[in-house]
Amino acid sequence: MKNWYLFILALCPFISMAQKTSGEIKFQESIKLNIDLPEGNEALKKNIPPSQNFSKVLLFNESESYYKDDGANEDLEINHEENGNEMQIVMKKPENNVYTDQKNNSLIQSTEFFGKYFLITGDLKSKKWKLTGEQKQILDYTCQKAVLMDTAQQVVAWFTSQIPVHGGPNGYCNLPGMILRVEAENGNRTITATKVNFKPVKNDEIVKPSKGKKVTSEEFSKIRDEKLKEMGMVSGKGGAVKMIIREDRN
């Protein structure tokens, strides 16, 4: 009887670990609103929130994941009237879905940009990370800090080996555990886990996006930067965008 009891004890950690290889993770994606207004618009500045937040969800299993909107995310609309002049600022929430396949080393991202859809393909192994040894607690998980080794991007990820899946939100992965927080664009964009739910995930729940014109990551970056320049916006390192509003004095 004692032998059976010891056997069950030894088996329990294995079962517990196996149960953590599929499920869903709720995330909050937050983008700081860097809107540069001309002098004398203090009242308008007060109406602009410091950030725009979106609810996202990551469905995952041992080798695949699908990152998508979690329900409806409303556009941010700001209306302001001063000295008889009306101003409206609308920050639209573009559709963005990301599929990753660890076995085949592939990433597929369907994203909306100024009303047009693009299907971006990429290579998961192109992302190289450096572990720093720093730790912090996110939800009930001890996470380690990793920095993306890419001069074109400034990305920090916090991952936990307590979830033994090399995945993460928005296509970030290739770390020895699940990524529960991402800090990108000098902290102007953050993605933070708010809830983890382990459960079986059906194959048809993890979708390969197919909507949009097929482009590489480099091609999309060029299209994006040219359009932002045309719209009078400034694109910074890592894709951060600063909106500059100027008064027309003519």
Tokens 């928005």: give the residue.
170
Summarize the confidence of residues 144-165 as an average pLDDT.
91
Cβ neighbours of residue 82 closer than 8 Å, sequence gap 6 or more: 41, 43, 44
pLDDT digits (tens, 9 = 90+) for 175-233: 999 999 999 988 889 999 999 999 999 888 999 999 999 998 889 888 988 887 776 65
Question: Model's pTM, two decimal places?
Answer: 0.78
Q: Regarding beta strands 116-123 and 213-216, do their DSSP bridges make them parallel or antiparallel, or are they unpaired? A: parallel
Higher local confidence (pLDDT), 31 or 190: 190
User: Which structural domains are found in the chain, ordered by start?
Assistant: 23-244 (2.50.20)
N- to C-terminal Cα separation, the chain: 91
CB 145 within 8 A of CB 167: no
